[in-house]
Structure 1
Amino acid sequence: MLFFRRRLVGAIALSLCLFAMTTISNSGNEGEASAIEPSGLRPVYPAEYDCSPITSEYASWIDVDGTRRDEIHSGVDAGRLGEWVIAPGPGTVRAVWRANWKWGSEGALMIRHDRQDLNLSNGPQFYYSEFDHLDFNEIKHFKPGDRIERGQRLARVTRPGENESYLPEVHWEVWKADHDKLTWRENRYGAPDWWNDSAELVDPLSMLALQNPPADGKSVLITPFDPGSDYSGFRGFTYIIACKRK
């Protein structure tokens, strides 16, 4: 679904990162839309797994249902109804809240990944994974500070605002940040919205590409989480939807 928040305003920081990682600054005031540039990255799914595909990509103008968005997409959408959303990497629960982005009341969950969690030797100190369109009752047991492991079940895919008129999806945004100071305010729909003046959006595919950089610079091999694998040296993220081996 459409999810550009109109909170990303003021000075926009566009920078070149690994694999054309496009970023946008989370600093300014709500009420003015800002442009997000496509990264050029495209997902490639492993032949030996059945993985629900990404249904709307970062910086896309096309929504899950095939219609054109009013604003450009600030994350990726994925998943079939009832499938498990799983943690893309180890981290710590940063926030759990009741969100509303005009679809209706829903659950939102943010995980903070330290650079060391993702086996990255340089770059920003923190990365945030924000998951939206969740059932709040499935995530309300999480508390800030809870440790999250890679592949841990978070919630099942449902519909934006738990509204039957929308197609199922989970919305996943990834942010990088130099510090972890959050402040909260109310958005235009009367729901909480977080703020970090150092946070910048990145294409989630860029984080999925760190372990296996694309040879052509564009085709990102989606890596499913495998409970039997050793991830002690794995760089970046694995896929957020639990895949089934064929």
Structure 2
Amino acid sequence: MTTTSRVALVTGGSGGIGRVTVERLVADGFAVAVHYAGNRAKADDTVAQIVAAGGEAVAVGGDVADEIAMTELFDTVEAEFGGIDVVVNTAGRMILGPVAEFDLDQFDAMMRTNVRGTFVVSQLAAKRVRAGGAIVNFSSTVVKLAMPTYAPYAATKGAVDAMTLILARELRGRDITVNVVAPGPTATPLFLDGKDDATVERLSKAAPLERLGEPADIAEAVAFLAGPARWVNGQVIYVNGGIA
């Protein structure tokens, strides 16, 4: 069992914002459980790099919407590191399309990962995270931008906002903060997939800082909530360069 003082679990930690968040938390001295859904090789690669650099990490897999799989995952992390202090939910899916034409099977699949998955992991985190810890869920700035074709995705993230802010109040007296990070346009495969160059260029100029966010920008906000931000609780933190 490790003697590391703080332990983090990052869902979707094998790629995109998740992987950079893992690396940022390791830099802050966390031992990290790197969750993956389908690509174990990427998670193993992340863990190998962390361990080679002297950090502590383990790869853990499973469907975030499967409560049995996630219970086993939490058990594994606790057995490996002795407890859990921070849970970060970056796992998610984004499928775009107009409401009138949107495929309901795709809508259900996105709801399963983004809403049920966040709920399942948050439920377990509420029971398992140690005093002084933090739960950080992921939403999106698109919830308040009202952009065409984003309605199904924004609906799932609006649900994340609601459940997270209520959970913060339900954990009264536990010394556990619960917040949401809501990125704006960020240069990740999830965001860039299916967008032509003109669309990416237009979105990159939307914020006053006139660039897309980088995963490191988002990870910095997560690290703040996971560490020193003990008086930030029950909030949606928009990390979007001022786009809204």
If asked which structure has higher relative contact order (CA below 8 Å, sep 6+), I would say 1
Which structure has the highest helix share of the two?
Answer: 2
Per the normalisation by structure 2, the TM-score is 0.26
Q: Which has the higher strand share?
A: 1
TM-score (norm 1): 0.26
